[in-house]
Amino acid sequence: IESVQQHIENTVSDKIKVEAAGFLVNPSPVSGIDSESYRILEKTIRSVFPEAVVVPGLIGGGTDARYFYEVSEEVYRFYPIRLGASSWSMFHGIDEKITKDNYKEMIEFTYYLIKGFE
Domains of the chain: 28-116 (1.10.150.900)
CA distances from 48 to 41, 51, 97 (A): 11, 9, 22
The confidence score (pLDDT) of residue 65 equals 84
The confidence score (pLDDT) of residue 57 equals 83
Residues of the chain with pLDDT under 70: 90-91
The confidence score (pLDDT) of residue 44 equals 96
The confidence score (pLDDT) of residue 102 equals 87
The confidence score (pLDDT) of residue 78 equals 85
The confidence score (pLDDT) of residue 33 equals 92
pTM of the model: 0.74
